[in-house]
Structure 1
Amino acid sequence: MPVHIGYAAMLERFPPAEAVALAALAESHGFTGVMASDHFQPWLPAQGQSSFVWSVLAALGERTTGDLGPGVTTPTFRWHPAMVAQASATLGALYPGRHWLGIGSGEALNEHIVGHYWPEAPERINRMFEAVDVIKKLFAGSLAGRDVRHSGQYFKLESTRLWTMPAVAPQIFVAASGPVTARRAGRNVDGLITTGAPAERLAALLTRFAEGAREGGRDPSKMPKVLQLHLSWAATDEEAMRNALVEWPNGGMRFARSDIRSPFEFEQLARTVRAEDFKGQMVISADPDVHRADIQRHLDLGFDRVYLHNVGRNQAEFLEVFGREVLPALRA
C-alpha cells in the first residue's frame, strides 16, 4: 500500500502565491497531499504572513491533484460553524473526493481578535464538538434535500440548508492533543489529527481514539489518523538548529500556547528557547535518513497520513532531497 506523505503549507510563514507554488513543487517530488494552516496572525512577527486559508485551499486545488484540507480551522469564535460548513462543502464540490475538513478548538492568537471571552480548555472543546454537530447536521440534511436547525448551548442555526454540496460530504477530522478529546473524536467524527509528540503520548491518543470509535460502532482501522510533523532539515546540523531557533522556536516550547494573544508576546517567550529544548520534541538533523527513521516510527505507531513541515526557509531543497532520499524508503 502506498505511503501517504503530504506537505504542510504554513500560511503564517509564506505568502499565498509562494505557498501554492511550494505545494505544487512538493507534489512533483512525490508528496501526495496538502494540509494548509488557518491563522489570522503569525506566531512570530518575523514569520510575517497569515493569508485566508479558504482562498488558498481553492488555489491549491487548481495547482495540485492530491487531497487538501485546513489543518485545522476553528468553527467556534471567528467563524460560525454554518460558514465553515459552507466553505468546506464548496471545496468538496470543486474538488470531489479530495477535500477533508480539519477542526480544532483554537488558540487565542487567532480567535480572540473578534473580542469574545476566551474560555478555558474544557469549554473550548465542548464548543468544538457542538460545532461539529452543526456541521454534520448541515451536511446530512443538505444531501437529503431538507432544511435543518440547531439550538444548543453555544450555537443557534435557523432552518436552512447548504445549496451547494458535493455528492459525498467531506470527511471531518478533529484535532486532539489529550486522551479525552481523542476518545470523543473517535465517537463523533471520521478521523483524528494531531501533531508530533513523544511516542508514548501519541500511542495513548491513538488508543483512546480507537476506543471511542468502537464505542460508536465503527472500525478504527478504517478511520484516518493524521499527523502534522514539524522537523528541521538543512545542509548541516548547525544550519538545521539555527533554522529551528530562528524560524520555529515553537518546537522547543514546553508549555501550553493556546492562551497567547499576540505575536509580539510570543516573540518575547521565544527568546527563552535554547537548543536543548528541542530534544524529544522535534528532529533536527542534516541527515535525511534520521528524518526517514522518525517518519517511519510514526507510520509504525499507526498514523496513515503524515504532513511534513520543514521549519527552514530552504523549502525547495528540502522537497527535492526528501522526494529523492526519504519518501521512496518509507513503508506503510
Structure 2
Amino acid sequence: MRIIRYIIQKEFKQIFRDKGMLRLIFILPIFQLLVLSNAATFDVKNIKVAIVDHSHSMQSRALIEKFQTNSYFAETKLLNSSNEGIEYINKGKTDAVIEIPKQFEKQLTNENKTSIQVLINAIDGATAGVQNVYIAQIVQQYNQNILVENQSLTGNKNLSRIEVIPSFWYNNTLNYKTFMVPGILVLLVTMLTLFLSSMNIVREKELGTLEQINVTPIKKHQFIIGKLFPFWVLGLVILTIGLLIAKLVFNVPMLGNIFLVYLFTAIYLLLILGIGLFISNHTETQQQAMFIAWFFMVIFILMSGLFTPIESMPKWAQNITLFNPIRYFVEFIRMVLLKGAGLQEVLINLSIITAFAITINGLAVWSYRKTN
C-alpha cells in the first residue's frame, strides 16, 4: 500500500507540475461544456423562405403575412416566377420556396379547398423535415382561421373540432439544453480520462522510464493502480464541476439521487481507464495512442444516442451500440437527473457497465508486460 501511495503522489506531482496539462484538464472541459451546450441545438431557426404568389389576392396576402410574422422565419422574400424560385433554391439563397397558385382564392371560395406547392432544400434531411413541419403548422393555422371565419358567416355552430392539450413531462419547457447538457458532460468526462490514461504509460515508454520501473520490485498491480488512480479522481472532479455548471448556468434539473450518479461514474471511469490502459499496452508512441483513442471515441459518440436516437438506427447499428459504454452512461444520467430514476430503474445499466469494467480491466492488466 505504501508503494501505491508513493506512485500516486508522484503522478499527482507530475500532473500539477505541468501547467499545460492543468489547463487541458480543468479549463478546456469547462469551456467545451459552455460552448457545446449552446451550439448543439435541435432548434431550427432563421429559416429563409421565398414565396411565389401567382394569386395576388387578399387570401394569399394573408397567408404570406403568417410567414412574415413568424419568428422562425428570418427572411421571407417575394418572387415573381417559379423559375426564379428554382434559381434561388439551387443557389442556396433560400431554404424553401412556397408557390401559391393563381386560382388560390377562387378555389378556396368556391370549392372550399386548394393546394400550394412547397420546395424544400433537403440536403440536410433532418432540418428539412423540421422546416416542413413549421410550414405545415402555419398553413394549418391559416386554414383554421378560415374555418372560423366561415363558421361566423354561415352561423353554423356545430362544426367539429378536436383540441389537443399536450403535457410535456420531464422537460416541460422543451429546452434542448436540458436534454443535451448531461450527455455532453458524459462525453467530456470520457474523452478526458480516456486520452490521459491511454497516453500516460506510453509516455513512460517514450522517456525510457518504463523499462527502469519494470526491473524494480514494484508489482504489476501496484504500478497500474498508482498510474491510473489520479485520473480516476480527476474524472470525478470534472464530473463535479460539470454538474455545478449544469445546475448554475443551464438550470438542468437534478431530480434523482446525486450519490447514485457518483457511484455509476466511479465504476464507469474504471472501465474507461481500463480501455486507456489496454490502448497504451499496444502502442509505442503518444501519437499512436491518441489516434486509436480518438478512433474509438468517434464511434462511441456517434453511436451513443446523444445526437441521434438509437431506435432510428439500422438494426445492425443498434446491436453495435450494445457494446458502447457511453450509451449506457448517457441513458443513465438522463434518467437519474431528468426523471428522478432510482437504483432499480438503472440497475441494468449499472450491471452492464460493471461487467464491462471487470472484463476490460482484466484484459488490460493481463496484456501489460511486467515480469514480477
The TM-score range, normalised by the shorter chain, is under 0.3
- Greater share of strand: 1
The TM-score, its normalising length taken from structure 1, stands at 0.24
Larger radius of gyration: 2
The TM-score, its normalising length taken from structure 2, stands at 0.22
